[in-house]
Chains A and B, each alone.
Chain A
Amino acid sequence: MAAPTYPFMASIEELRTKLATLEASRATPADDTEVEAVRSALEREIERVFAGLTPWQRCQLARHPERPYTLDYIGGLMGEFTELHGDRLFGDDPAIVAGFALFDGEPVAVIGHQKGRTTAEKVRRNFGMPRPEGYRKALRVMKMAARFRRPVITFIDTPGAYPGLDAEERGQAEAIARNLEEMARLPVPIVVIVSGEGGSGGALALGVGDRIVMLEYAIYSVISPEGCAAILWKDQARAEEAAAALRLTAPDLLELGVVDEIVPEPPGGAQMNPPAVYASVATVLRRHLRELKRCKPEALTRRRYDKFRRMGRVVER
Chain B
Amino acid sequence: MANAVSVPPGMWVKCESCKEILYYKEVQDNLEVCPRCSHHFRMSAESRLSLLFDGASYRLLFQKVRSTDPLKFVDTKPYTERLRAYTAKNGPGDALLVARGAIGGHQAVVAAMQYRFMGGSMGSAVGEKMARAIERCLVRKTPLISVACSGGARMQEGVLSLMQMAKISAGLARLRDRGIPFISVLTDPTTGGVTASFAMLGDVNIAEPNALIGFAGPRVIEQTIRQTLPEGFQRSEFLVEHGMLDLVVPRHELKPTLVRCLNYFH
Contacts and interface: CB of A to CB of B under 8 A. Distances in A.
Contacts of A252: 159
Interface string A176-193: 111011101100000000
Nearest to B129: A314
A169 B235 CA distance: 11
B37 interface: no
A247 B159 CA distance: 8
A246 B75 CA distance: 10
Interface string A252-274: 11001010000000000000000
A208 B221 contact: no
B229 interface: yes
Contact of A177 (B155, B198, B223, B234): B198
B224 A173 contact: no
A183 to B, nearest CB: 8
Interface string B60-74: 000011111011011
Contacts, number: 195
Given A171-B244, A181-B170, A201 B165 contact: yes
A220 B215 CA distance: 19
B55 interface: no
Interface of A: 161-165, 167-174, 176-178, 180-182, 184-185, 198, 200-201, 204, 207-208, 220-223, 227-228, 231-233, 245-248, 252-253, 256, 258, 304-305, 308-309, 311-317
Given A163-B216, A164-B221, A185-B177, A247 B158 contact: yes
Given A232-B76, A314-B68, A178 B201 contact: yes
Given A168-B216, A314-B65, A314-B67, A200 B162 contact: yes
A222 B155 contact: yes
Interface residues of B, number: 66
List 8 tightest A-B contacts by C-beta distance, closest first.
A312-B124, A180-B169, A184-B170, A163-B216, A173-B195, A173-B215, A311-B163, A176-B196
Contacts of A247: 71, 158-159
Given A174-B244, A180-B169, A247-B71, A312 B160 contact: yes
B100 to A, nearest CB: 18
B220 A163 contact: yes
B243 interface: yes
A15 B156 CA distance: 40
A204 B165 contact: yes
9 contacts: A165-B225, A171-B242, A177-B165, A232-B75, A246-B71, A248-B159, A256-B158, A312-B124, A317-B64
A305 B174 contact: yes
Nearest to B239: A171
B215 A176 contact: yes
B142 interface: no
Contact of B155 (A208, A231, A316): A231
Given A163-B215, A258-B163, A316-B64, 20 more contacts: A161-B196, A163-B217, A168-B216, A173-B213, A176-B196, A178-B200, A180-B165, A184-B170, A201-B162, A201-B165, A204-B163, A208-B169, A220-B159, A222-B162, A253-B159, A256-B160, A309-B171, A312-B127, A312-B160, A317-B66
B239 to A, nearest CB: 8
A228 B155 contact: yes
A77 to B, nearest CB: 25
Given A308-B167, A313-B68, A204 B224 contact: no
B124 A201 contact: no
Interface string B208-229: 0000011111001101110101
A314 B125 contact: yes
Contacts of A162: 224
A181 B170 CA distance: 5
Contacts of A177: 165, 169, 195-201
B144 to A, nearest CB: 14
Contact of B224 (A164, A172, A248): A164
Nearest to B154: A222
A180 B193 CA distance: 11
B266 interface: no
A145 B92 CA distance: 45
B66 A181 contact: no
Nearest to A220: B159
B173 interface: yes
B98 interface: no
B212 to A, nearest CB: 11
Contacts of B229: 165
A106 B114 CA distance: 49
A125 to B, nearest CB: 16
Given A200-B162, A258-B163, A308-B167, A181 B173 contact: yes
A96 to B, nearest CB: 16
